[in-house]
Amino acid sequence: MEETWPLKSAPITERLRLMREWEVAAPEAFARYFPVLTSASVRHVGVRLPGMPSPGRYLNFASSNYLNLSVREEVVDACRAAACRYGSGANGAPILNGRFEVHEALEEGLARFHRTEAATLFPSGYSANLGIISSLGGTEDTIAVDRLAHASIFDGLRLSTSRRCLFAHNDVDDLERRLISRRLPGASILVVTEGVFSMDADLSPLPGVAQVCRRQGALLILDDAHALGVLGATGRGTCEHYGLAPSAVALHMGTLSKTLAGIGGYVAGSRDLIDLIRYSARPALFSANIPPMVAAGCLASLRVLEREGAELSASLRNRAHFFREQLEQHGIELPGHTMVPILPIVLGDAQATVNAASYLMDRGIFGHGVIFPAVPQGAARLRFMVSLGLTEEDLASAATAIAHAIHPGNGAR
């Protein structure tokens, strides 16, 4: 047997030791990481956790396949046809190897959907934020970010050479004060926020943020990953929800892995900004493009959204509101906005959260038990994501089980 490579780096060895200590101290939490799915991630999903001899079948509250499009017949057919025509992969970075015509059609479709001049694709939503934020700012520029923004936004900030500024979560006044105090003559200002903050299920006060950006001459970048197909009269996201023109935002960032049921990221905006990002964002320049069959599936999902977005997004919001009402009837307090199909229940204690999640798994409910480091110490929570695959009967029965899981004396392990 080949000898294992010895670890001689003290920092790596120390980080490995800390991870193993955490693994021993919280075995139930570790056992929930990296579950293996054995079916499509729809209403019922097959799940096998580490150590389980065989998969179980669960009601699925752990998927952002919000509109259930991943199994829509026309979406699957589009993937199949593209695989037959183009093969399984993109086989290289688009700047030299080229992009397939289906990639071009998807970019044009995304620009049309967001009512912008252009759009460009990234291998993932995560890499989109890395590329956008790290490529736009110079050393004299300032990038201001909401303190509760997604990890990918902060990682893009770390890669940037720009001056960094964090503002209090959803605090428009704090944002403006910080921009005024950090302004340099001739320098650019970028403001980055999210439409829907997925861990707390609250909305950005986008109209106020946009007003500050106009007054201070800042470019506004909106991560709308969890709002596409969810908010707005036709599912176009946070701008539409607030009645803002798409031009209120300089760059609309989104992911293809949630409502559009594929994998990848994108950014839509003016032709000039998109061209600048296309030629300078390293995560896309030096990565292979998303597989053409995935692009075809996402394009089919986008066409469904263009055609049925009003009906689908309204149905999703109604279902999320129903689930919230069911939980509140059991005395469960829920943060966040009533229109968001993400329902976090903050328990605070990590062990109580793991116990409750295990209790629900035993009763056929697959949700998220979120503990440190995904959230700060003392902010552990259960998180449930509603999709159109779940019926009102599913939601009502799950609410009863959740109440038993988190209320004292219910027998939860």
Give me 307's structure tokens: 């055609």
- Give phi and psi for 146, each to the nearest 5: -60, 135
In a domain, 206, yes or no: yes
In a domain, 276, yes or no: yes
Q: Say how far apart CA 278 and CA 68 lie, in whole Å.
A: 31
Q: Say how far apart CA 343 and CA 62 lie, in whole Å.
A: 11
Residues 281 and 137 both lie in one domain:
yes
The CATH code of the domain that includes 345 is 3.90.1150.10
Residues 118 and 64 both lie in one domain:
no
Domain boundary among 290, 318, 344: 290
Residues 229 and 377 both lie in one domain:
no
How many domains does the chain contain in total? 2
Residues 125 and 200 both lie in one domain:
yes
The CATH code of the domain that includes 283 is 3.40.640.10
Domain boundary among 225, 259, 290: 290
Q: Give the pLDDT score at 408.
A: 55
Nearest to 165 by CA among 188, 184, 146: 146
Q: Give the pLDDT score at 412.
A: 41
Q: Say how far apart CA 23 and CA 67 lie, in whole Å.
A: 36
Residues 281 and 380 both lie in one domain:
no
DSSP state, residue 337: -
Output the tens digit of pLDDT for each of the chain's 413 residues: 455 656 667 788 888 888 888 777 777 767 777 889 999 999 999 999 877 788 999 999 999 999 999 999 999 999 999 999 999 999 999 999 999 999 999 999 999 999 999 999 999 999 999 999 999 999 999 999 999 999 999 999 999 999 999 999 999 999 999 999 988 888 999 999 999 999 999 999 999 999 999 999 999 999 999 999 999 999 999 999 999 999 999 999 999 999 999 999 999 999 999 999 999 999 999 999 999 999 999 999 999 999 999 999 999 999 999 999 999 999 999 999 999 999 999 999 988 998 999 999 999 999 999 888 778 889 999 999 999 999 999 999 999 999 999 985 544 43
Domain boundary among 290, 324, 348: 290
In a domain, 4, yes or no: no
Amino acid identity of 143? I
DSSP state, residue 259: T
Q: Say how far apart CA 120 and CA 115 lie, in whole Å.
A: 14
Q: Which residue segment(s) compose the domain that 236 sits in?
A: 91-290
Catalytic residues: 198, 226, 258
| Distances in whole angstroms, Cα of residue 144 to Cα of each of 4, 29, 85, 203 | 45, 34, 44, 18
In a domain, 76, yes or no: no
Give me 191's structure tokens: 């403001």
Which pTM does this prediction carry? Answer: 0.92
Residues 140 and 204 both lie in one domain:
yes
Residues 32 and 135 both lie in one domain:
no
The tens digit of pLDDT for each residue in 81-118 reads 999 999 999 999 999 999 999 999 999 999 999 999 99
Beta bridge partners of 343: 384
Coil vs helix vs strand at 120:
strand
In a domain, 364, yes or no: yes
Amino acid identity of 98? G
Residues 151 and 283 both lie in one domain:
yes
Residues 38 and 112 both lie in one domain:
no
Residues 100 and 139 both lie in one domain:
yes
Give me 387's structure tokens: 């999709």
Q: Give the pLDDT score at 1.
A: 45
In a domain, 178, yes or no: yes
In a domain, 74, yes or no: no
Residues 189 and 285 both lie in one domain:
yes
Residues 240 and 129 both lie in one domain:
yes
In a domain, 273, yes or no: yes
